[in-house]
Amino acid sequence: MQNKVRKLAIIIGSGPSGLMAAEQLALKGLEVLVVERKPSLARKFLMAGKSGLNLTNDDKIEEFTTKFYEASEWIDPILKNFCPKDVVKWAESLNENLFVGSSGRVFPVAMKASPILRSWIIKLKGEGVSFKTGWNWTGWKGDDLCFDTPEGSNLIRPSVTVLCLGGGSWPRLGSNGLWVDVLEKEGVEVEELKSANVGLLIPWSKKVEVHFGKPLKNIAFSSGNLVSRGEAVISKKGLEGSAIYSMTKSIWNGNKLMVDLLPDLTENVILHKINQRKSKISFSNFLRKSLKLSSQKITLFYEFGIPLPKDNESLAFVLKNLQINHQGPGLLDDAISTSGGVKKKSFNNNLMLNARPGVFVAGEMLDWEAPTGGYLLTACLSLGYWAGINAAKWVNS
C-alpha cells in the first residue's frame, strides 16, 4: 500500500508565534517546515529570557484583553481561545515551573527562555516538524515562495503558508521589518512600524549625569488618558523602565508627558507642608527633609521645573504635575516591541491575507500593541495558535 502524500505547510519565522503555528499544523497531520533567516531559532524569545521571560499575566481574561487598545476588539476571541491559563499549561507541559511575580506577571522559575525553547523544539521535532535556518524569504514568484539559502536560491510551493516575521524592534535578532515592502507590493496594507515599549529620549543637562543608572522610585507618569505608577531609571539617553514604556503610545500620539513626584500625597497636603516651611530652610532641603524626595526626584524637579513658580499653590501643583520635555520615544532598535504592522482590514478573522488566499499571518507583525507585563508573548502564542488551526482547516477543506 502506498503512503499518503501529506500536504506541506511552510511557516516563515521561528519566533513564538511561528513555533506555535507549526505545532498546530503538525498536530493536524500536515508536513511542516519552519524557515528562519538567522542561523539559529527564536533569537528574540531567547533575548526576552535575559530579563526573566515574563510569559503571561495572571489577570482575569476580561481584564487581560482590554490591554490591547484599539486591537482589543478583533484580538479578543483569539486571546480567549488560547488564554493566559493555556500559556501556563503549555509551559508546564514543557516541564517549566512557573511563579507569579509583582503585578500578576508570570515567569518560569528558571527566569530564562533556553530550557523551554529546548524542550519545545524537541517536542516539535517529535511531532514531525522540520527546520531550515539561514533561509531568508524574499517574496513570491507566482505562487512559489522565494528563499535565499546558503545553497543558493530556492522556490517552494506549499499548500499553505504562515508568515510569522515579527515586528521591527531589535532587528539584529532577525525581525527587520523588510517584509513590509514585499507585502505592500501584494496590496496588503501595513500601518507604519514604530517603537513601542521603549525608553524616552531626553537631552539631559550636565547636572543630571551623576544620577545615570539610578532609579526614580514611586512616581506616576501620565500622558493623554494613560496613567502608570511605578519606577523609572535615569539613563544616559533619557528615561527607561516599565512605567515609562507604557506611555509610548500616548507620546507618539502627541500628548504631553507629566510626572507626579509624590503620588501618595494630595496637592492640599503638599501645599500645607510648603506653607509651614521655615524661611531659613532652602527649598531643596525642604524637598528632601519634609517631603522626603530622593536626590534623583529633586534633580528631576529642578531639571524641568525651573523657573520655579513664586507662589506656594503653583509649587504644590508642579510637584504633582511636572511636565517632562523630551525628544520622543527611543528608536525601534532599542524597543521591546513594535506598534503598527499588517492592518486588520488586510486579513480576515482567521488571520488569512485577503490579497493572498492560503497565506496566514500571526504575531508581532500584525497591527496591535500592548504594554509589557506578559501581554506580548501571550498574544504572539495565541495568534500563532489561531493562525495554525485556521491554516490547517483551510488546507483540509
- Is residue 312 left, alpha or beta, with left meaning phi > 0 and alpha meaning psi from -120 to 50? alpha
Take residue 93 and report the three cell numbers written for it.
Answer: 507541559
Residue 16 binding ligand FAD, by CB under 6 A: yes
338 with 332: CB under 8 angstroms?
yes
42 with 53: CB under 8 angstroms?
no
Stretch of 230-238, 295-303, 317-325, 374-382 contacting ligand FAD, by CB under 6 A:
374-382
Among 14, 248, 296, 299, binds ligand FAD (CB under 6 A): 14
Q: Considering only CA atoms, which of 227, 218, 205, 173 is closest in space to residue 49? A: 173
Question: In the chain, what is the greatest distance between 2 CA atoms, to the nearest angstrom?
Answer: 99
Q: Return d(Cα 13, Cα 38) in angstroms, integer.
A: 9
Take residue 232 and report the three cell numbers written for it.
Answer: 523609572
Among 22, 35, 71, 145, binds ligand FAD (CB under 6 A): 35
Residues 6+ apart with CB under 8 A from 180: 190, 193
Residue 106 binding ligand FAD, by CB under 6 A: no
Residue 194 binding ligand FAD, by CB under 6 A: no
Residue 57 binding ligand FAD, by CB under 6 A: no
What x-and-dash track marks residues 323-352 binding ligand FAD by CB under 6 A?
-------------xx---------------
Q: How many residues bind ligand FAD (CB under 6 A)?
A: 37
Residue 12 binding ligand FAD, by CB under 6 A: yes
What x-and-dash track marks residues 348-367 binding ligand FAD by CB under 6 A?
---------------xx---
Q: Return d(Cα 197, Cα 332) in angstroms, integer.
A: 10
Among 9, 10, 34, 45, binds ligand FAD (CB under 6 A): 45
Q: Nearest distance from residue 265's CB to ligand FAD, in Å?
A: 33
Residue 15 binding ligand FAD, by CB under 6 A: yes
E-state strands within 224-281: 226-234, 238-240, 258-260
12 or 129, CB closer to ligand FAD? 12
Residue 35 buriedness (CB in 10 A; 0-12 / 13-18 / 19+): buried
Residue 175 binding ligand FAD, by CB under 6 A: yes
Residue 168 binding ligand FAD, by CB under 6 A: no
328 with 195: CB under 8 angstroms?
no
Take residue 371 and report the three cell numbers written for it.
Answer: 504594554
Residue 98 binding ligand FAD, by CB under 6 A: no
Q: Nearest distance from residue 25's CB to ligand FAD, in Å?
A: 15
Q: Which residues bind ligand FAD (CB under 6 A)?
A: 12-18, 35-38, 43-45, 47-48, 51, 53-54, 136-137, 164-166, 169-170, 174-175, 179, 336-337, 363-364, 374, 376-377, 380
